[in-house]
Structure 1
């Protein structure tokens, strides 16, 4: 697990040195683009728009266009010089309830791990947040952007979620007409939800399409013929009350025994 960033959480007079580790990884199978005629790999080259010369990453610098074909070059040293110590730390602005924040505001997730000397203050903050059922909202500069953050306590540590600003969130593209529902229909839907209510166990979920994709690739590598997947049977359209009732009966028969699990974060 590679270190994403070393920084400091600061609130009031308390400073907690931490390292941020990326919490997610992409396990999806990726494909290369090939030339259809001979299956050779397609390559993309970066070239200079002025002289046509092929350019390597070492030859590229950042430039800001301030007029037609006019740029100022900005180096990493330039960007570091304008950062204050406050910009380089995570400044906690206030505390809030987790359920007050819509998931649409969350972006990337990091594990926060205390660095040497920060263990006691880190655990104190984590324990206090857990006890108060709160999260911390903070800010820091990551790259060239001042980033909004949520610090979320867990039983085994803390997560840091980068967040979008309100200006980054798009409006709902289209509203829908909310039809009236009867008390009976609502109660049936609630009963169905209750019949399917079990604790969330992430180990139970697998990317089934990726599993089938790996099997397909193994079959192709072995020179075997690809077997067509069987089409799923489409159920007939029935009355919503009949569908709810049938679903409740099905899930009541097959519902597993609930397992009790301790919460890993604030509720």
Structure 2
């Protein structure tokens, strides 16, 4: 079980659920340090006061705000822990929404919530079951580590997860990014969907791992052993900018590659590839639309 972060209360209407907050995720990284390239000596960063030049120990470091007129307000840890916010110890539910209503681009950090005492177990289970049966998430307001944010409560593996959200004005506009005026042929869309099915047939997300960390460890181990480290494989050669791509030909080659990489779906790939060859039409299904493969 992960270490607890805080004890809070989930409240909606007159119902209160005492919960303990746990970090739901943890990043794994290869520990790299800043060193002097010439001799490998560690680069140390010191906290130095710019007024008197003295090195400041961590316990004497506070947070500060500089006003437009140049004055500095020093905020202590007690100031930040005792902000005049109801949400500093409360996860206040604002309402419930269908899970699909929350755009994943808003998701930030995840925390597990567990009942902090036996009295909270029953209302915890009640909220969990109600959200599961309604297929809804709770939208809440909470302050995590001195920063207030919106969040959703959702259920994962019988545990209520608090997922913090970015504020709406923290999401940048996507205007002008997507291409416009692109007309796709039905055969292209059909072939792309068949390729998606072929690649997905035996895909298992839980089997994926951090290849970057593994590659970095290989380089470190080779350096420690005094050996030549492994190098990056040859990258795929992309067509130069402005080149008109024969999309159908690319999709056909991709399907052939998928047939080799994902043999479980080879039958579907073969049949679709034949159905989309020039001069041949896919057999229509009911309603006159192409039959999906």
TM-score range, shorter chain: 0.7 to 0.9
**1:44 Cα deviation from its structure 2 partner:** 1.0
Does the residue aligned with 1:180 lie in a helix, a strand or coil?
coil
Does the residue aligned with 2:221 lie in a helix, a strand or coil?
helix
Structure with bigger RCO (C-alpha 8 Å, 6+ apart): 1
1:76-107 CA distances to partner (integer Å, 9 max, x unpaired)?
33344443555420011011111111111110
The aligned runs of 1:29-44 (5 Å cut-off) are 29-44=30-45
**1:143 Cα deviation from its structure 2 partner:** 3.3
TM-score, normalized by length of structure 2?
0.79
The answer to whether residue 252 in structure 2 is matched with residue 245 in structure 1 is yes
CA distance in 2, matches of 1:199, 1:71: 59
TM-score, normalized by length of structure 1?
0.86
Indicate the residue corresponding to 1:222 in structure 2. 225
- Is the 2:87–2:148 contact (alpha carbons within 8 Å) kept by the matching residues of 1? no
- Is the 2:107–2:165 contact (alpha carbons within 8 Å) kept by the matching residues of 1? yes
- Is the 1:126–1:154 contact (alpha carbons within 8 Å) kept by the matching residues of 2? no
**1:65 Cα deviation from its structure 2 partner:** 2.2
Indicate the residue corresponding to 1:188 in structure 2. 191
CA distance in 1, matches of 2:82, 2:233: 61
Indicate the residue corresponding to 1:171 in structure 2. 173
The answer to whether residue 74 in structure 2 is matched with residue 102 in structure 1 is no
User: Comparing 7-16 with 167-176, which one deviates more in the overlay?
Assistant: 167-176
Structure 1 or 2, whichever has the larger Rg, is 2
CA distance in 2, matches of 1:38, 1:246: 50
Does the residue aligned with 2:53 lie in a helix, a strand or coil?
coil
1:26-84 CA distances to partner (integer Å, 9 max, x unpaired)?
21213111122322111111111111111111222233323544223332333444435
Structure 2 gap segments, 5+ residues each: 266-293
- Is the 1:62–1:75 contact (alpha carbons within 8 Å) kept by the matching residues of 2? yes
Counterpart among 123, 126, 148 of residue 124 in structure 1: 126
Aligned length: 257
- Is the 1:7–1:17 contact (alpha carbons within 8 Å) kept by the matching residues of 2? yes
Indicate the residue corresponding to 1:19 in structure 2. 20
- Is the 2:19–2:120 contact (alpha carbons within 8 Å) kept by the matching residues of 1? yes
- Is the 1:196–1:255 contact (alpha carbons within 8 Å) kept by the matching residues of 2? no
CA distance in 1, matches of 2:85, 2:69: 32
The aligned runs of 1:52-71 (5 Å cut-off) are 52-71=53-72
- Is the 1:8–1:89 contact (alpha carbons within 8 Å) kept by the matching residues of 2? yes
- Is the 2:128–2:158 contact (alpha carbons within 8 Å) kept by the matching residues of 1? no
Cα distance change, pair 76–204 in 1 and its aligned pair in 2 (3 A): same
Cα distance change, pair 249–37 in 1 and its aligned pair in 2 (3 A): closer
Cα distance change, pair 235–138 in 1 and its aligned pair in 2 (3 A): closer
CA distance in 1, matches of 2:163, 2:181: 33
- Is the 2:7–2:89 contact (alpha carbons within 8 Å) kept by the matching residues of 1? no
CA distance in 1, matches of 2:238, 2:39: 45
- Is the 1:109–1:161 contact (alpha carbons within 8 Å) kept by the matching residues of 2? yes
CA distance in 1, matches of 2:159, 2:263: 33
Cα distance change, pair 248–225 in 1 and its aligned pair in 2 (3 A): closer
User: Comparing 127-136 with 170-179, which one deviates more in the overlay?
Assistant: 170-179
